[in-house]
Amino acid sequence: MHPLAIETNARLPEQVLRMLSDRGQAIFFPSKGILGQAAQARGRRINATIGIALEEDGTPMRLAGLDAAIPLSPRDAFPYAPSYGKAELRDCWAGLIRTKNPSLGDMPISRPVVTSALTHALSVAGYLFLDPGEQLILSDLYWGNYGLIFKNAFGAELTTYPTFENQGFNVDGLKAQLLAGEPGKRVVVLNFPNNPTGYTCTAAEARGIKDALVSAADAGSDVVVLIDDAYFGLVYDDAIMTESIFAQLGDAHERILAVKIDGATKEDYAWGFRVGFITYAGKGLSEDALLALADKTAGAVRGNISNASHLSQSLLLSAYKDQAYQDWKAEKYAVMKKRYDVVRTVLENHPEYQDSFEALPFNSGYFMCVRPRAGDVDQIRRHLLEHFDTGVIATSGLIRVAFSSAPTGVLPELFENLHQACQAVAQGT
């Protein structure tokens, strides 16, 4: 093992070392190689260490057409960003996490590491915490890309439990999987609001999830909780959890490591910017241990993509520092909330739709799902395309409706079309 990996591992408590994959234990940030030498040369009158081209005046070399199109200083757009991410953005995002999750209080959390959006963050988490053949526990209704990320790329076995029980989150199902078999390493994914169902757990369910995880830790398991907060903040019902479950799990137990995976993609409607974050918390973890986890994460980023887009990070930081930022967010949230309310009203005003499909519980996010009473879901999807000029997603025996991408005015028509398509397929017409 590389001496820097050994040095980084020595800063972590034994239970966290057990949570890491073989790759996670072996990875390190190359602080003493080219990057370290470049850092030592920073500010020197003559500096021939940097792997970019500079103009004669010392500014980043750039094409005039690109320079003219970007309303930022060239230094905030064209050079590489650090593998950890732009320092000011990392600190800004840490502050936003605390603002959006006030119950964190002064709980220690790591300084967020920037990734190339959430898919990359999930992949980095798989790299750090999953070895081939290890189980990943998650609800049976999950984002399809988890399979590519965790199973196909890292060889994990996806172990699922039914997402819902009695119209709510299946806490007992999660607990049963956590406690199955002998105590050992447990890696869990929690995704609220959930893709594809658009469900966020209630406060009581969140407490139940925490209790289930603590029970597994008390039984002797080391528990890594990957918290996919892609749709964080898009909650539309006062009865549900408005903070990330990260706030409850960050100091829940010495054997629980909470890994918050989030970003600007959905929260700030910046899908193509590809900026995400990984943040850690764990009961009793020292500042140096949290820094060591960040070092390993930055090392994984460095060894995979080198760094995330500097331009995107700078643009987002500019927005976050603007006094109008919260107003901009509120404006877009209102549009999403209105669409959600229209979907609720349509379903309530058309009880006959229940003859065609059952709406699964939903209260947040971009989506909701229905389970047709009869007929193949892909046949229904194709019928909608061919006869109603309407597109939806067929997945896991369900139809997923993205009200996020459908203008408010077409939502009643969308559900009427869905009702008619379900009837036609069921009747074979």
Domain-embedded: residue 74: no
Domain CATH code at residue 267: 3.40.640.10
Same domain, 419 and 316: no
Give the pLDDT score at 239: 86
What's the rounded Cα separation, in Å, for the pair 319 and 237? Answer: 27
Q: Let me know whether 276 and 379 are in one domain.
A: no
Q: Do 231 and 266 contact (CB within 8 A), yes or no?
A: yes
Domain with 264, as residue range(s), is 3-29+83-321
Domain co-membership, 289 together with 354: no
With contact defined as beta carbons under 8 Å apart, do 25 and 45 qualify? no
Q: Is 36 within the bounds of a domain?
A: no
Cβ(277)–Cβ(261) under 8 Å?
Answer: yes
In a domain? residue 220: yes
Question: Is there a contact between 292 and 11 (Cβ–Cβ < 8 Å)?
Answer: yes
Q: For residues 268 and 310, state if they share a domain.
A: yes
φ, ψ dihedrals at 17, nearest 5°: -60, -40
Question: What is 11-25 written as a DSSP string?
Answer: TS-HHHHHHS-HHHH
The verdict on 231 and 91 lying in the same domain is yes
Q: What radius of gyration, in Å, describes the C-alpha atoms of the chain?
A: 23
In the prediction, which pLDDT does 102 show? Answer: 97
What tokens were used for 417?
Answer: 């079309």
C-alpha atoms less than 13 angstroms from C-alpha of 225 in its C-beta half-sphere = 34
Q: Write down which residue in 273, 306, 321 finishes a domain.
A: 321
In a domain, 154, yes or no: yes
Give the number of domains in the chain: 2
Is residue 75 situated within a structural domain? no
Question: Phi, psi (5° rounding) for residue 402?
Answer: -95, 90
How confident is the model at residue 258, as a pLDDT?
Answer: 98
Intervals of the chain under pLDDT 70: none
Crossing angle of helices 287-304 and 117-129, in 10° steps, is 110
Phi and psi at residue 84, to the nearest 5°: -75, -20
Looking at the fold, whether 375 and 292 belong to one and the same domain comes out as no
113: β partners: 278
Sign of CA dihedral 245, 248, 251, 253: negative
Residue 392 DSSP SS3: coil
Task: Quickly tell me which residue has 């070392």 as its tokens.
Answer: 17
Does residue 341 share a domain with residue 275?
no
Sequential DSSP letters for 111-171: PPEEESHHHHHHHHHHHHH--TT-EEEEESS--THHIIIIIITT-PEEEEE-SEETTEE-H
Contact between 23 and 127 (Cβ < 8 Å): yes
CA-CA distances (angstroms) from residue 9 to 246, 278, 282?
24, 19, 16
Residue 49 lies in a domain: no
Angstrom distance (rounded) from CA 98 to CA 50: 35
Measured CA to CA in angstroms, residue 155 lies from 47, 118, 223 at distances of 44, 20, 19
**Together in a domain, 104 and 223:** yes
Helices (H) and strands (E) in the chain, counts: 17, 13
Non-local (6+) Cβ contacts of 395 within 8 A are: 144, 196, 377
What type of residue sits at position 283? K
CA-nearest of 275, 279, 259 to 267 is: 275
Tell me whether residue 62 is in a domain: no
Q: How far apart are CA 229 and CA 350, in angstroms?
A: 33
Nearest to 129 by CA among 33, 32, 229, 23: 23
Q: Are 285 and 108 in contact (CB under 8 A)?
A: yes
Only one residue has tokens 């910046």, namely 270
Q: Which of 265, 295, 321 is the last residue of a domain?
A: 321
Question: 151 and 250 share a domain?
Answer: yes
Residue 226, SS3 per DSSP? strand
State whether 215 and 364 are in the same domain. no
Q: How far from the centroid of its chain's Cα atoms is residue 325's Cα?
A: 21
Q: Which helix (H) or strand (E) holds 35?
A: helix 34-41
Whether 78 maps to a domain, the answer reads: no
Distances (CA, A) of 203 to 172, 211, 275: 15, 12, 29
pLDDT digits (tens, 9 = 90+) for 373-405: 999 999 999 999 999 999 999 998 999 999 999
Last residue within a domain, chosen from 321, 345, 376:
321
Give 352's DSSP letter. G
d(CA 214, CA 253): 6
Name the one residue in this structure whose structure tokens are 């597994």. Answer: 216
160, containing H or E segment: strand 157-161
* DSSP one-letter code for 222: E
Scan for tokens 């008619």, then name that residue.
420
Q: pLDDT value at position 41?
A: 77
- Beta pairing partners, 364: 235
For residue 51, the model assigns a pLDDT of 86
153 and 254, same domain (yes or no):
yes
CATH of the domain at 379: 3.90.1150.10
Tell me, yes or no, whether 314 and 406 share the same domain. no
pLDDT for residue 429: 76
